[in-house]
Amino acid sequence: MTTGFTDETTAAIAIARSYTIGDLLRRTALRSPDKTAIIDGDLSLTFAEFDDAVNRCANALTERGLIKGDRLALISHNCWQFAVVNFAAARLGAILVPINFGLGSDEIAFILDHSGSSVVIAEDSLAATVGAAIDASSRGDVVRATIGLGGGAVDGWEDVASWIAHDDATPPQVAVGDDDPLRMMFTSGTESRPKGVLLSSKSLVSQYSSCIIDGGMTADDIEVHSLPLYHCAQLDCMLSVDVYLGATSIILPGPDPAALLAAVEKHRATKLFCPPTVWIALLRHPDFETRDLSSLRKGYYGASAMPVEVLREMSRRLPDVQLWNFYGQTEMSPLATILQPHEQLDRAGSAGRASLNVETIVVDDEDNPVPVGEVGEIVHRSPHACLGYYNDEEKTAAAFRNGWFHSGDLGIIDEDGYLSVVDRKKDMIKTGGENVASREVEEAIYLLDGVAEVAVFGVPHPKWIEAVAAVVVPKDGVVLTEAQVNAHVEGVLAGYKRPKYVIFADALPKNPSGKILKKNLRVAHEGVAAAH
């Protein structure tokens, strides 16, 4: 419909109706200027001070030539400056490209080239690696700046501290649309190269609403953020939601169990997100019994299903903490489904039901919905969904075929609408012509006393093509044998599902987000069949 308005009036209306990521902090600062927004070590910022820092940083970036649509790469451990840069880029309509700080220079170079970043901000201790990446890329003329976290000044790099202290705190006046891309998140990826997932304010703000309503989040929350902010789970399910609501955020550089437990006690934190691997680490840490965790009321997990035995342990040892399971992926900003606190034990292992702004079904290989109780690929429709993969028409078209976003996960929806994630397509083990879900085998092994962690995956086998292998981490002070594991699963699993090989280890390889790296395990143990 034609409104009959002039372009000038239409533009003025658009500004008045703006509801983008860059607007959220400003509005919270107007509501609660003196409330504590961020605590990072000895530094504390009110929402008014946080908002002021964002404006100053944005104006400094404008002076360095960053404009709407440009890409800004950011690589750093968690810090308050990360949050400032995130919102400063959004106010300019620039596209933030958060990068995993665990990547090597060649991997970073690929992301810089693929994204076309014109500004690169790196934690000072990472400047050498990132500098080598810039040199190896085609982005030699980028603006370079460091965040000072202890590594010292770096020759040839500006200091982000000077940007945040810029003399102009005027709010930038940039018209940013709901579906203008503001984020390019690179998937951890199972392929040779990661994909750049484009997210907009519409994607993210609608996801924040789902988190708030279905996740029981409020402005009274005090949350500890320890998982990497380069990952959308911590950044967009947690930190940005806290900013939106006006909740207080405690930022830690990483998920060290002792530091995390100490922070909950010191700041009387009420809310905490951890993947299952980190929750397990907290439960096993000696400080768990000595720290005062009585303030904690809300716990969230994701990245993988929580082992049922760990859920039971958490209900005993943290009886006042309500738990939510958030399931999704980067392309969904990232939330798709939620399992609520009252459902945790009755429906243990379930990913719950579609969150507020999401529609979820499972389909066959022809994209037809499968009957209740049958395995299919999990697909979604939602404003949470990304805009697609940057400069990749083929993969975008495949992911969104027939008007659904295809997750690549296999799942079952029961008669009550609850989703159970069977496995990633890539993690399904096909042994002797039979499909085995690695998660089912893991759950069975977790029932054995003395098991701290376990990962199950497929390895090449001359007879079965693939064989089931399990790497088991015993609890401290416990000695387990392959015979014990085999005897235990014999009464729990069908023969073809039982591990052909049981390997014991002191720890499982994980990425900084706490996700178990099964790809690394497959490579490390690909020759196990030949060795037996």
pLDDT digits (tens, 9 = 90+) for 323-359: 999 999 999 999 999 999 999 989 988 999 999 999 9
What are the structure tokens assigned to 504, written together? 């014991």
* Cis peptide preceding 334, ω within 30 of 0: yes
506 by DSSP, 3-state: which? coil
Residues in a beta bridge with 333:
none
Sign of CA dihedral 499, 449, 298, 251: negative
- Are 223 and 268 in contact by the 8 Å Cβ rule? The answer is no
Residue 191: pLDDT over 60: no
Residue 404: pLDDT over 50: yes
pLDDT of residue 426: 66
Distance CA 130, CA 61 (A): 19
117 by DSSP, 3-state: which? coil
What are the structure tokens assigned to 423, written together? 């496995």
Distance CA 272, CA 224 (A): 6
DSSP state of 272: E
Residue 240 is which amino acid? Answer: S
Among 444, 463, 462, which residue's Cα sits nearest to residue 502?
444
Q: What kind of fold does domain 19-35+44-201 have according to CATH? A: Rossmann fold (3.40.50)
Distance CA 205, CA 236 (A): 9
Distance CA 51, CA 49 (A): 5
Q: Report the CATH architecture of 432-531.
A: 2-Layer Sandwich (3.30)
pLDDT of residue 190: 40
Does the pTM exceed 0.75? yes
Q: Mention every residue, 6+ apart, whose C-beta is less than 8 A from residue 264.
A: 224, 272, 291, 293, 295, 296
Exposed e or buried b for every residue in 497-524, given b needs 16+ CB within 10 A? Answer: bbbbbbbeeeebebbbbbbbebeebbee
Radius of gyration of the chain (CA): 24
Domain boundaries, the chain: 19-35+44-201, 432-531
Mean pLDDT of 304-330: 92
**Residue range 16-43, pLDDT digits in tens:** 999 999 999 999 999 999 999 999 999 9
Highest mean pLDDT, choosing among 331-340, 444-453, 488-497? 331-340
Distance CA 508, CA 520 (A): 10
Mean pLDDT of 108-123: 97
Q: Of the given ranges (122-126, 235-239, 492-496, 512-516), which has the lowest mean pLDDT?
A: 512-516
**Residue range 240-269, pLDDT digits in tens:** 999 999 999 999 999 999 999 999 999 999
